[in-house]
Amino acid sequence: MSLTNATPLQVAQAARLGSRKLAVLSTEERNATLTAIHAALAEGKEEVLAANAKDLDAANKAAEGGTLSASLVKRLDLGKAGKYEDMLQGILDVRDLPDPINQTTAKTLLDDNLILSRITCPIGVLLIIFEARPEVIANISALAIKSGNAAILKGGRESSNSFAAIASIISRSLATTAVPSDCLQLVQTHDVIADLLKQDTYIDLCIPRGGNKLVRYVKDSTSIPVLGHADGICSTYLCADYPAEKATKIILDAKTSYPAGCNALEQLVVEERALSTTLPIVAEALLQRGVSLRCDNTALLALKGKLDPHSAALLQESGPQDFDTEFLDYILAIKTVASVHEAIAHINAHGSHHTDAILTLDDVTAKTFLAAVDSSSVYWNTSTRMADGQRYGFGTEVGISTNKIHSRGPVGLDGLTIYKWVLVGDAQVSAEYGAGGRLWKHERLPVGDGDGMCRDEEEREVLRKFRTGRK
């Protein structure tokens, strides 16, 4: 890794060249690199924390001056008990995941001695732009190297000293490994982003990790494919048949366990028949936790007079914009609908296709909702806060995608890979087939039969994963 003063073009070209070398390293070489980075960061803890203290100092002053939020300062702090160790463990966790590349995921006998294989490989060069949290650099570096991708990392201004220290340590440790140092490059100055976003010849995928403003800016400024989500307007549709106690538990978790999360609940869609039964119980619990309820007229009418008068101020009439807003706060919009079809139409029109849930005991209603809601994650009787790579069992995630192509929902290592088609023959040519008289065999082969492309151990692993349902 280098903390570079090169131009954006030079950075991108060097990453591209480095990526070609990284792509052909063995599983062992990539894993050994993660071991080396882990050891170096463990040893360099004092150095990193000293740099982090400088960032914290500056951030605290900015917070006092009112130019930085207290929660952002908190996210900067690498010295908090267990945080540095979690960062270190994260590197080993990624190392110990199955290798996502060089896996044969399909094989077809086109003709005798003419075998087509689909083999996973790295995407190439990633541009990752993230805000604040300095530990992300270690996490992303581990994911990139594990998946054989070069990465250009642009961190937030507030953690520049922490980034520089981590980058310098990773750089020193890379020098002892098979991974070229240009495969991880840190750029610090904000003014290079616009030029980096123009390097579509050398950069294959851009992943912005941060707020709506950052993501929209990136999407609007580049022809490089962008993986991510601008908004997390998550909804839950509460049916009248669902027990109030369970509904309350789920909705409280979805709204209040981390309101700043992109998977936090922003809209409660309520079946009309639940207005006077379940909704008052759920609403009371939300109000007691300090959640403002922005209700449409029907819901407001149903709730008025039924709630603790202390909470009256938190019961509000919704404006039209409330159903298209990511509050990221203790605010919830409440919308009344007559049926699951109306709920589906509302969510497809006003949600952000991130994560949406239905609470019901009815099988048919649930399946209608799960099939028709066009979101990356759709849930039945659980909290939208479940949308997370670690919770999904991916080990870790690079972000959550609301894209309609490539990778959708929480994106783990698989989302950083693509495949190539490998065809091995013995001088067969296209003109021999079709009008040429020869017929294609097109016989699906089990992944695991030797075609000379994969080592036996790898093939067994692939087969095992296919048999247990893993991609």
- Residue 374 beta carbon to a copy of itself: minimum distance, rounded to whole angstroms: 7
- Residue 226 beta carbon to a copy of itself: minimum distance, rounded to whole angstroms: 9
Q: Which position has the token pair 């030079």?
A: 10
Tell me the window of 17-25, 46-54, 166-174, 182-190 that interacts with a copy of itself (CB under 8 A): 17-25
Q: Which of 67, 439, 446, 456 binds a copy of itself (CB under 8 A)?
A: 446
- Residue 251 beta carbon to a copy of itself: minimum distance, rounded to whole angstroms: 9
**Integer angstrom CA distances of residue 70 from 12, 51, 81, 214, 437:** 35, 19, 18, 20, 74
| Rounded distance between C-alpha atoms, residue 285 and residue 90, angstroms | 36
- Residue 128 beta carbon to a copy of itself: minimum distance, rounded to whole angstroms: 15
- Residue 286 beta carbon to a copy of itself: minimum distance, rounded to whole angstroms: 14
Range 27-86, binding a copy of itself (CB under 8 A):
none
- Residue 368 beta carbon to a copy of itself: minimum distance, rounded to whole angstroms: 8
- Residue 390 beta carbon to a copy of itself: minimum distance, rounded to whole angstroms: 8
Range 312-371, binding a copy of itself (CB under 8 A):
348, 363, 367-368, 370-371
Nearest CB to a copy of itself, comparing residues 41 and 143 = 143
Nearest CB to a copy of itself, comparing residues 172 and 466 = 466
Range 421-440, binding a copy of itself (CB under 8 A):
421-431, 433, 440
Nearest CB to a copy of itself, comparing residues 64 and 443 = 443
Alpha helices, DSSP H, located in 152-192: 160-174
Identity of the residue numbered 397: E
Strand partners, 216: none
Q: Which helix (H) or strand (E) holds 2?
A: strand 2-3
Burial class (CB in 10 A: 0-12, 13-18, 19+), 359: buried
222 touches 200 (CB < 8 A): yes
Q: Which helix (H) or strand (E) holds 8?
A: helix 8-23
Range 89-148, binding a copy of itself (CB under 8 A):
105-108, 110, 114, 116, 118, 123-124
- Helical packing angle, 340-350 and 363-372, nearest 10°: 20
Nearest CB to a copy of itself, comparing residues 66 and 469 = 469
Its sign, for the CA torsion 70, 71, 75, 79, is: positive
Render 367-399 in DSSP notation, one character per residue.
Answer: HHHHHH--SSEEEESS-GGG--TTTTTSSS-SE
Binding to a copy of itself by residue 223, rule CB under 8 A? yes
